[in-house]
A and B are shown apart, each in its own frame.
Chain A
Amino acid sequence: GTWMPPSNPMNAVVLPTWGAWVEEATEGRVTVRIEHDLGNPAAYYDLVEDGVINAGWSFHGYLPGRFTLPMAVEQPGMGVNAEAASAALWQVHETHFAKANEYEGLELLALITHGPGQLHTREPINSLRDLRNKRIRIGGGVQSALGERMEVTAVAAPGPRVYEMLQQGVIDGVFMPAQEQRSLRLDEVAPNLTLFPGGLYLGSFAMFIDPEFMEQLEPRDADAIRSVSGLKLSAMAGKEWDQADIDGIAYAREKGVNVIELDENHPMVQEFNQLIQGMDDAWVASVQRAGVDAAAALADLRRLALEYAEQN
Chain B
Amino acid sequence: MSFVAWLKAHYDEKGPIRWLAFLLELIAAVMLMVLMLITCVDVVGRYVFNKPLPGSIELTEIGMAILIFAAMPVVTWRGGHIVVDLLDRYLSTFVVKCLSLLSAIVISGSFYYLGHRIYQLGERSIRRGEVTEFLGISSGYIVQYIAIMSWATALGMITYGVYRIFFQDKSN
Q: Contact between B131 and A153 (Cβ–Cβ < 8 Å)? A: no
Contact with A along B121-138 (1 / 0, CB 8 A): 100110011111110101
- A64: CB under 8 A from chain B? yes
CB distance from A308 to the nearest CB of B (A): 30
Q: Contact between A133 and B50 (Cβ–Cβ < 8 Å)? A: yes
Residues of A within 8 A of B133 (CB): 61, 64, 140-141, 144, 156
Q: Which of A64, A105, A135 contacts B132 (CB 8 A)?
A: A64
- B30: CB under 8 A from chain A? no
Query: A-B pairs with CB below 8 Å: how many?
Result: 44
- A65: CB under 8 A from chain B? yes
Q: Which of B46, B54, B131 contacts A64 (CB 8 A)?
A: B131
- A33: CB under 8 A from chain B? no
Q: Which of B50, B54, B136 contacts A65 (CB 8 A)?
A: B136
Q: Contact between A65 and B129 (Cβ–Cβ < 8 Å)? A: yes
CB distance from B59 to the nearest CB of A (A): 11
Q: Contact between B130 and A66 (Cβ–Cβ < 8 Å)? A: yes
- Of all chain B residues, the one with the shortest Cβ separation from A152 is B50
Interface residues of A in 205-241 (CB under 8 A from B): none
Q: Which of A65, A68, A140, A153 contacts B52 (CB 8 A)?
A: A153
A154 to B51 alpha-carbon distance, docked (Å): 8
Residues of A within 8 A of B26 (CB): none
**Given A66-B129, A135-B46, CB of A156 within 8 Å of CB of B51:** no
- A13: CB under 8 A from chain B? no
- A293: CB under 8 A from chain B? no
- Of all chain A residues, the one with the shortest Cβ separation from B51 is A153
Residues of B within 8 A of A64 (CB): 130-133, 136
**Given A153-B50, A155-B52, CB of A104 within 8 Å of CB of B128:** yes
Q: Contact between A155 and B46 (Cβ–Cβ < 8 Å)? A: yes
- A46: CB under 8 A from chain B? yes
- B100: CB under 8 A from chain A? no
A141 to B136 alpha-carbon distance, docked (Å): 11
- B39: CB under 8 A from chain A? no
A216 to B28 alpha-carbon distance, docked (Å): 47
Residues of B within 8 A of A140 (CB): 133-134
- B56: CB under 8 A from chain A? yes
Q: Lowest 9 CB-CB distances: which A-B pairs, in order? A: A65-B131, A140-B133, A66-B130, A65-B129, A66-B128, A65-B130, A156-B57, A133-B50, A63-B130
Q: Which residues of B contact A (CB under 8 A)?
A: 46, 50-52, 54-57, 121, 124-125, 128-134, 136, 138
Q: List 20 additional contacts besides A153-B51, A155-B46; criterion CB under 8 Å.
A: A46-B121, A61-B133, A63-B130, A64-B130, A64-B132, A64-B136, A65-B128, A65-B129, A65-B136, A65-B138, A102-B128, A133-B50, A135-B46, A141-B133, A144-B134, A153-B50, A154-B52, A155-B52, A156-B56, A156-B57
Q: Which residues of A contact B (CB under 8 A)?
A: 46, 61, 63-66, 68, 102, 104-105, 133, 135, 140-141, 144, 153-157
Q: Can you give 19 A-B contacts (C-beta < 8 A)?
A: A46-B121, A64-B132, A64-B133, A65-B129, A65-B136, A66-B125, A66-B128, A66-B129, A102-B128, A104-B128, A133-B50, A135-B46, A141-B133, A153-B51, A153-B52, A154-B54, A155-B46, A156-B133, A157-B57
